[in-house]
Amino acid sequence: MKGRFIAFEGCEGAGKSTQMRLLSEYLTARGVPHILTREPGGGHISESIRNIILDGKNREMTDECEALLYAAARVQHLSDTVKPALERGETVLCDRYIFSSFAYQGYGRGLSLGFLKAINAYAIENFMPDVTLFLDIPSSNAFDRKHGADPQDRMEQAGEAFHKRVYEGYRALLRDYSEQIAAIDCSGTKYETSAKIVQCLVSRGFIG
């Protein structure tokens, strides 16, 4: 049996890791085999790529190089982590996927969506999640939650206007990919948000 592929998206500090952990507890309690993983990262090659991308010292990295590195980390992560788990029948909870590239490198950096779709077509070959959950909280609120940007993290240091464009980008993607992305309102407590996520997945028949 093939497992379900569920991606989480949102701005920095939207609470993705907390919500993934709460969903993991829910699945464990019901005996649903699953893994938690993240982009860029997962296996050791993608984690090495991640360190290059996020390293605050790599200030001269071009936007195109950044986009290609994310796509490279993605294809490796799919091959060594995501696809094997799905084949074992496990559900995969993945922190970020292709819509992060569209939101951050497209709307945030200003690269064309055509370029991003083309390089990611090589990386994923149409391999899309069963559903993408967008944790909807504006970037400014999200940074407040995590008490500001990390000075060592190149992406978090990109500035307020950048992160605002990323959030607006996600809103646009939500309209363009309404069949694939479900917005989760995060204005309540973490437990209320978690209940909304479970309800969304149950209503789509992805979990019991």
Binding residues for ATP: 10-17
Instruction: Look up tokens 């919500």; give the residue.
Output: 19
CB 85 within 8 A of CB 51: no
Give the Cβ contact number of residue 12 at 10 Å. Answer: 20
* Contact string (CB under 6 A) for ligand TYD, positions 66-95, x = contact: ----x------------------------x
Distance of alpha carbon 93 from alpha carbon 96, whole angstroms: 9
Site string for ligand TYD, 108-147 (x = CB under 6 A): ----------------------------------------
Instruction: Kindly tell me which of 32 and 166 has the beta carbon lying closer to ligand TYD.
Output: 166
Q: Which is nearer to ligand TYD, 116 or 183 (CB)?
A: 116
Q: What share of the chain is helix, strand, coil (3-state, %, to 5)?
A: 55, 15, 30
- How many angstroms separate the CA atoms of 125 and 130, rounded? 15
SS3 string, 190-207, reads HHHHHHHHHHHHHHCCCC
The CB-of-115 to ligand TYD minimum distance in angstroms stands at 13
> Can you tell me the distance from the alpha carbon of 91 to that of 32, in angstroms, rounded to the nearest whole number?
8
Residue 37 contacts ligand TYD per CB under 6 A: no
CA atoms of 94 and 90, how far apart (whole Å): 12
Using CB under 6 A as the binding rule, whether residue 46 contacts ligand TYD is answered as no
9 contributes a contact to ligand TYD by CB under 6 A: no
Among residues 76, 100, 193, 194, the one that binds ligand TYD under rule CB under 6 A: 100
Of 85, 123, 155, 197, the one binding ligand TYD (CB under 6 A) is: 155
Interface residues with ligand TYD (CB under 6 A) are 12, 16, 38-40, 54, 70, 95-96, 100-101, 104-105, 155
